[in-house]
Structure 1
Amino acid sequence: MGTAAQEKAARSNIIDITDLHAPVLTEVQKQVRAAAEAAGDQIVLQPDVILGAAQAQTGLADFGPADFRERLAVWCQAIDEDENASAVTRANLFQMMIRLASTRLRIEDIVKRHPEILDIAIERPIIVAGLPRSGTTHLLGLLSADKRLRSLPWWEAIAPVPAPDEEPSTQAPNPRWTKAEEGWRGMEAVLPYMAIMHEFSPDHISEDIELQAVDFSSYLIEWLALVPRWRDYYLSHDQSGTYAYLKKCLQVLTFLKGPNRWVIKCPQHMEQLPALYRTFPDATFVLTHRDPVGSIRSQLTMYTYAARMLRKSVDIAEPLGYWPDRYEKLLRACVRDRDVLPPEQTIDVYFHDWIRNPDPIVKEIYRIADIPLTDAVLADLHAYLEEHGEQKKGKIVYDLERDFRVTGEELRGPFAFYFDRFPVEIEVR
């Protein structure tokens, strides 16, 4: 009886998105699209407009080093060239760029008022990198359950320095958390399955890409629009300056809250290992590896599901034409530069090992990081795993052949170089 009940519960937890190709919009989705289209004339993707809006919003004027302006201009041009971007996408990106510019103004302002911030050492951080959709988020969340480490929750990632109206009070202990919660609930209402595939709740531990984006770089907007112009610009420019800005943001956050033993992550680090190592030479580097097809399959489904809101029309040729090639570029850079990282500071984590038994991997990470792993801390980590186990909110069905008319073997073909370098198990046939 118990077994039958468990099987029924498991079946009821399966989410099969059957309208990927021809979305059936909910009333909420229709309303959001209509509102964005009606406000389309107000979206002006020009650097001066964006920076002016940030200055008006903050009352500040100094953006710091001006090299970011060229990158912002490329962002705007690349987004404007995306002819299939919906009004929702354009509105979201416009508001995001104003937010990032406002954050930059506040970062520069607090550093100007407290120059000692730049003397704060970011000592021996633990840095997780790996393929998108390869377990990096789960691993980051697990390590962040150790309260001796400093991590970056979503509410803080999107508003690192509080605005004057975001200072805690007796009526509102954390206005930044409340704003993040409102945004999260809005996302859940519009794209409920996206909320399962990639969580953005206020306390969810975020990628440090949000801090790199304050310097108007990273591969962030590639996930939000079809922007080959930006991809090519980003890949052809040294990212050391943006990684230095990431460190600057961590120094500000440490000044505001502390302590300074950080655990951070971003899949993008896989293709920026030299810049990452130059910026954080004493870090513990945790690189996760997975069959690229498993990761690409997840990304294709996520992209196409979100396309009902973010694209004017749904076309599976878009993600198929972009993401497998993008993954190849990322992994070729990883294979090329992997040995830049000191072996005594680095661990390669394999997805197939992680899902079978994470404990030995966790213990090795703590050994390399020279952090005692006490029984009490291990119990906290186990409690996190139990609470945040895979598929707690639902298991998304990923079907390459049905949804994208391609097989795992066809997608895997270009990645032989990766399997030659790392002993990754084939996951998707």
Structure 2
Amino acid sequence: MSGSGKSGEVIDITDMRHPVLSDAQKMALAGAAQATFDFSTNTFLETAKAQTGLSDFGAMDFVERLNIWCEAINEDAFLSPVGKAGLWTMILRYASDRLRVEDICKRHPEILDIEIDRPIIVAGPPRSGTTHLLGLLSADKRLRSLPWWEAIAPVPTDADAPTATDPNPRWTRADAGWQQFEALLPYMAYMHEFTADHISEDIELQALDFSSYLIEWMAHVPKWRDYYLSHDQTGTYAYLKKGLQVLTFLKGPNRWVIKCPQHMEQLPALRATFPDATYVITHRDPVGSIRSTLSMALYASRVLRTKSDPEEPKGYWIDRYKTLLERCVRDHHILPPEQTVDVYFHEWIKAPNPILTEIYAKADMPLDARTLATLHQYHADNDPGVKGRVVFNLERDFDIAAEDIRSQFQFYFDRFPVQKEVK
């Protein structure tokens, strides 16, 4: 592959179809292959109880969903040992953190009375600029946001108490985990910026209820996709709110900025849970978003899958985007216009200030010169193109042309004035 990831460099990953593994990747795969992973609901629940010393998971309706997670993962024939290790560790973390959330709510029932005041909620297709917009708005410290180090350990334990040598053990663990991941997939950081301080998607809180589209990104799980899309998600969105209440109790303020692309297909549940929110919906040429997603998936497959087959992500994610955007087209009308800002990618990259002005006006927050300067500084410090840019090549890597994908999304262009981006 060409490019070494230096600042501003254009990186062309030329071994997408036939990966040449690094020594670190070979060692990780060999090491994970020595372990066995029992993807069963009882194993996760009992291990979480032993790990935390707690036993109350709250409402147990999530068990049905966790069962489907486990079944779907067990049915994925091409999940690599590294993929299994990552999923197993993640699911155990969710079970343990759910126990801690329920425990703190029992000890402090006033948590459930905390108001989540007029949150700003960002939604949009994956790879459409939602991450950068979330980080930008999070630079305004009047708003509460969810950094990665806090998202993966929302309720601190005694072991997380600051020490003379480590003022924030949760941050230290998150940083170590990210560095390990980056060592395995070094070019992923150029596709999707990530650090311990990275502002996380609120999907991490929904996952405590064992729902969302999260595991679709980590394994080939059509069984879970079909279950998730056919079941009402209002309960899981209520658990998201519960998570925000717990985090607000631990550290305010109670005015949040959150985001998840999944919200685009769950607008009724989102609206029911956060009726006073400001909804910021990003839009982009689906080809621009999809080619990035396909390339990320194929690149990661060298360690997460036992094969690097471009047909696998291509066959899954183009159709998955259609469902996401069809549901947005279907349900967008339920969002009150006075609380909604539609952000178009081609307009945002040319002139963000008018869009920021509209977001702040609808959120009823003053946007003074000092705040605008803070946002501009974040934008300058976190320009995705400065670190390095990865080449996305649909024809070479996936045997498909941009128009072959775009032709399947005319319904979306008919509804929203999205500008064609990829030739």
Q: If the length of structure 1 is used for normalisation, what is the TM-score?
A: 0.96
Distance apart, 1:12 and its partner CA: 6.3
State how far apart, in whole Å, the 2-side matches of 1:168 and 1:281 are: 37
Contact 1:155 1:202 in 2 (8 A): yes
How much has 1:172 moved relative to structure 2? 2.1
Runs of 4+ aligned residues of structure 1 deviating over 3 Å after TM superposition are 9-12
Residue of structure 1 equivalent to 2:78: 84
Q: In the superposition, relative to structure 1, how do residues 11 and 156 fare at CA in structure 2: closer, same or farther (>3 Å)?
A: closer
SS of aligned partner of 1:277: helix
Indicate whether 1:412 and 2:406 are aligned: yes
- Among 407, 411, 423, which residue is 2:417 paired with? 423
Tell me if the contact between 1:58 and 1:163 (Cα under 8 Å) persists in the aligned partners.
no
- Residue in structure 2 matched with residue 227 of structure 1 by the alignment: 221
Alpha carbon RMSD of aligned pairs, Å? 1.1
CA contact (8 A) 1:151 1:205 kept: yes
1:94-109 superposed matches below 5 A:
94-109=88-103
Q: Which amino acid aligns with 2:142?
A: R
**Are 2:38 and 1:44 aligned?**
yes
- Measure the CA separation in 2 of the matches of 1:265 and 1:179: 23
Shift of 1:66: 0.2
Distance in 2 (alpha carbons) for counterparts of 1:357 and 1:380: 16
C-alpha displacement of 1:10 = 9.7
Residue 378 of structure 1 aligns with which residue? 372
- Counterpart of 1:16 (choices 12, 19, 27) is 12
Equivalent residue letter for 2:24: V
State how far apart, in whole Å, the 1-side matches of 2:355 and 2:301 are: 37
AA partner of residue 173 (structure 1): P
TM-superposed deviation, 1:168: 2.2
Distance 1:258 1:177 in 2: 18
Q: Does 1:26 align with 2:19?
A: no
| TM-aligned CA deviation for residue 393 of structure 1 | 1.5
Amino acid paired to 2:78: N
Q: Secondary structure at the match of 1:392?
A: helix
Structure 1 residue 378, shift from structure 2 partner: 0.5
Matching residue of 2:177: 183
In structure 2, what is the Cα distance between the partners aligned to 1:105 and 1:55? Answer: 8
Look up the match of 1:58: 52
Cα deviation for residue 170 of structure 1 reads: 3.2
Deviation at 1:103?
Answer: 0.4
Separation in 2 of the partners of 1:193 and 1:104? Answer: 32
Q: In 1, Cα distance between the equivalents of 2:240 and 2:264?
A: 16
Residue of structure 1 in register with 2:393 after alignment: 399
Taking only the aligned residue pairs, the percentage that are identical comes to 65
2:110 to 108, 113, 116: 116
**1:242-277, Cα deviation, whole Å (9 max, x unpaired):** 000000000000000000010000000000000000
SS, match of residue 356 in structure 1: coil
Q: Deviations over 1:148-190 (max 9, x none)?
A: 1100000001110012211223332111000000001111111
Q: Structure 2: how far apart are the matches of 1:13 and 1:414?
A: 33
The residue aligned with 1:239 is 233
Taking the aligned partners of 2:345 and 2:305, their CA distance within structure 1 comes to: 32
Are 2:239 and 1:252 aligned? no
Determine which of 31, 34, 39 is the counterpart of 1:35: 31
Other-structure match for 1:286: 280
Q: Secondary structure at the match of 2:299?
A: helix
Partner SS state of residue 258, structure 2: strand
Q: Equivalent residue for 2:123?
A: 129
Q: Give unpaired runs (5+ residues) of structure 1.
A: 1-8
Determine if the alignment matches structure 1 residue 261 to structure 2 residue 252: no
Whole-Å separation in 2 of the counterparts to 1:30 and 1:234: 34
The 3-state SS of whatever aligns with 2:92 is helix
What SS does the aligned partner of 1:264 have? strand
In structure 2, what is the Cα distance between the partners aligned to 1:294 and 1:333?
Answer: 19
SS at match of 1:391: helix
Q: Do the aligned residues in 1 keep the contact of 2:8 with 2:386 (CA within 8 Å)?
A: no
CA contact (8 A) 2:188 2:296 kept: yes
How far apart are residue 11 of structure 1 and its match?
9.9
Which letter does structure 2 place at the counterpart of 1:342? P
What one-letter code is carried by the residue in structure 2 that aligns with 1:157? A
Secondary structure, aligned partner of 1:428: coil
The amino acid of 1:309's aligned partner reads V
Equivalent residues in 2 for 1:137-148 (5 A)?
137-148=131-142
Counterpart-to-counterpart distance in 2, 1:356 and 1:165? 47
- 1:211 and 2:210 matched: no
Kept in 2, the 8 Å contact 1:187–1:195? The answer is no
SS in structure 1 of the partner of residue 280 of structure 2: strand
1:24-71 CA-to-partner distances (Å, cap 9, x unmatched) read 0110000000001111x2x00000001111111101000000000000
Indicate if the aligned counterparts of 2:146 and 2:200 stay in contact, CA closer than 8 A.
yes
Closer, same or farther: CA 112–209 of 1 in aligned 2, 3 Å:
same
Mapped partners of 2:411, 2:254: distance in 1: 38
More divergent stretch after superposition (186-195 vs 96-105): 186-195
Match of 2:140, as an amino acid? D
Kindly indicate whether residue 384 of structure 2 is the aligned counterpart of residue 390 of structure 1: yes
Q: Secondary structure at the match of 1:169?
A: coil
